[in-house]
Chains A and B, each alone.
Chain A
Amino acid sequence: MNRRLLLKRAASVATTLPFFSCAASAAEPAPDTAATAWGGGELRRVGIWDAHCHVGTPGTSPAKRMAALVAIADRVGIERLCICMSPPWFHEATPEQFRASNDDVLEILRHWSARAFGFVYLNPTYLRESLDELERCVADGPMIGIKLWVGCRCNRSELDPIVRRAAELAAPILQHTWIKQRGRGNLPNESTPMELAELSARHPGVPLICGHTGGGDWAAGIRAIRARPEISADLAGGDPVYGEVEMAVRELGARRVLYGSDASGRSFASQIGRVLGADISDADKRLILRENLRNLLLPALRRRGIAP
């Protein structure tokens, strides 16, 4: 069976969807006989919103690649996906390259606007072109947020006009951050949470999303953004090691923590599992898996007349 058929079948297989059995007491015997131990339709009832997705699944067109991704998302109860940066990916994307990437996302949104929200990919090194692209895709187009990757350190002044325009458009900014080997392993223009906190300090009140929250060094990332209440912590993209979700909730409050997967390179499952398995309340899990992102996006959705 080829991958396309497998993915197609994913959409047709009605599965029981998981969850929140972490609230069950150890005295309950209840080993579930479903594919997972949660059983039931709990995840689907939650209706997860994913803050951080890339449509890297196979397919002959962007829309078909998205169909493949949605088929898998359906299996684990994901209702909405924020998508950005259609492949191929370039660390130092030129205007031609980020426009082509955004063209793919625009095509996807033409078919999948009921499931996907678009974040326009910019490289602030090319400030004029980035501002133009922001107008094309967000002010005049269907996208609702901004994605910044590794083309420009986010504490640089080039970002200021972008942040100001984003605020006018109510468009949240998702900035990739990572701290590799205490920062020594970062790419030349790869941002850290500390640099995002610097940017935030220049733009108080403007909502920013700390992509990956520093990645493998999430403990330092959480500390770095702790004093900036307008920065939300994106959980996407790391190994599902114990402790990140608990620390983020403890230090930032559950309302500043967002579930994201970094699919399709990461597994939806491994990233959702971090929230499901965390030693936090079920109410906080619901905030992280859905409500916080929904609330963050509401101003942008209202501006566009989209009913979430």
Chain B
Amino acid sequence: MHDDGLIDTNVWLSAWPTRGSWAATPRALVAKLRRHGVVSAWTGSFDAALHTDIAGVNARLAEACARDGEGVLVPFGTVNPALPDWEEDLRRCHEVHRMAGLRLLPGHHGYQIDDPRLARLVEFAAQRGLPIQIVCSLEDPRSPSPGLIAPSVPAAPFIDVIKKIPRARAMLLNAAARPVAGNAALLRRFADAGNLALEIATLEGVAGIAALLESAPTLPIAFGSCAPFFYFESALLKLQESPLTPQQLDAVRHGCARGLLAAASAR
């Protein structure tokens, strides 16, 4: 059972300006992830949220994952469709850095989730077989640094975007907080889109994974920790808190993530 290991779809390098980190180095991050059975960690860079040289951030991310990732850290570069010539960033992520996917931060980069430029980016990524991750939030909006808190990204409008690009594959990060997880109708719309997944880093409520699957049994749900911003153990213990069938557990641990990559690259 669980021979295929654990895939963490929501991992970060570098430091968030307002927080310390339990992982002082990429190697420390990898050591802990491996100790808990993580075989693959989809990894973005916090620098992508605030730095203006996104291409430089992506290059450093790729280098760090190659140098220190021990085959576990899988870089997901960031493209900002509000910047001039973002298409070149996308090309480099794919052709130069050989990244497996992209991680977008609309809240920090100042565009809406239904912005036509984002739809175009999703289309281009789909043509290259790259799945898209969209970060819906990082800091609790009630936290003390209002200058650094980006507006939460409402996930619902993205459904209409992704449904128009059926060959695209996308995952919403930090989107499963209460307003979404408690909305069964919205969860079913996510599931019905057919090419959209959620992960569990911000999922709350007791037995939250089981509750999500009860609301939307076909909704793809992946494991995500938002480490090292969050404690990795908080996500890991959610797998135990929910009563899941072996099939459900395997899907969350690795099946959903593998399926997303495979489907995207098969386009």
Contacts and interface: CB of A to CB of B under 8 A. Distances in A.
A and B part of one assembly: yes
A60 interface: no
Interface stretch (A108-116, A138-146, A161-169, A173-181): A173-181
A87 B74 CA distance: 44
Contacts of A28: 35
Interface string A63-98: 000000100110110000000000000000000000
B211 interface: yes
Contacts of A21: 35-36
Interface stretch (B90-98, B125-133, B139-147, B162-170): B139-147
Contact of A7 (B20, B36, B144, B207): B207
A22 B238 CA distance: 17
Interface string A18-41: 100110101010111111111000
Contacts of B235: 269-270, 273
B202 interface: yes
Contacts of B230: 239-242
Question: Which of A273, A276, A279 has most chain B Cβ within 10 Å?
Answer: A273
Nearest to B39: A31
A6 to B, nearest CB: 5
Contacts of B231: 240, 242, 273-274, 276-278
B184 to A, nearest CB: 11
A182 B238 CA distance: 31
Interface stretch (B47-55, B61-69, B77-85, B239-247): B239-247
A215 interface: yes
Given A240-B234, A266-B204, A32 B142 contact: no
Nearest to B38: A31
Contacts of A216: 139-140, 142-144
Contacts of B1: 33
Interface in A245-288: 246, 263-274, 276-279
Question: Which of B5, B31, B232, B243 has most chain A Cβ within 10 Å?
Answer: B243
B234 to A, nearest CB: 3
Given A9-B243, A274-B231, A277-B232, A267 B203 contact: yes
A154 interface: no
B122 interface: no
B208 interface: yes
A215 B205 CA distance: 17
B233 A273 contact: yes
Given A243-B20, A265-B178, A267-B203, A217 B37 contact: no
A179 B144 CA distance: 8
A13 interface: yes
A69 B146 CA distance: 35
Interface string A223-243: 000000000000000111111
A18 B37 CA distance: 14
B21 interface: yes
A31 B142 contact: no
Contact of B22 (A238, A239, A279): A279
A3 interface: yes
A173 B229 CA distance: 32
Nearest to B1: A33
B214 interface: yes
A269 B143 CA distance: 22
A307 interface: no
A220 interface: yes
B2 interface: yes
Interface of B: 1-3, 5-6, 19-22, 31-32, 34-39, 139-140, 142-144, 146, 178, 202-208, 210-211, 214, 228-243, 249
Given A34-B2, A215-B140, 19 more contacts: A3-B210, A31-B5, A38-B236, A69-B206, A75-B243, A76-B240, A216-B139, A216-B142, A216-B143, A219-B144, A220-B144, A240-B231, A264-B206, A267-B203, A270-B203, A270-B234, A273-B234, A273-B237, A274-B234
Q: Which 8 A-B pairs have the closest CB atoms?
A: A273-B234, A277-B231, A37-B36, A31-B37, A269-B237, A273-B233, A240-B234, A277-B233
24 contacts: A6-B210, A26-B34, A31-B34, A31-B37, A32-B36, A32-B37, A33-B1, A37-B6, A75-B207, A181-B144, A217-B143, A239-B202, A239-B230, A241-B229, A241-B230, A242-B19, A264-B205, A265-B205, A266-B205, A269-B237, A269-B240, A270-B204, A270-B234, A273-B231
Interface of A: 1-3, 6-7, 9-10, 13, 15, 17-18, 21-22, 24, 26, 28, 30-38, 57, 69, 72-73, 75-76, 178-182, 185, 215-217, 219-220, 238-243, 246, 263-274, 276-279
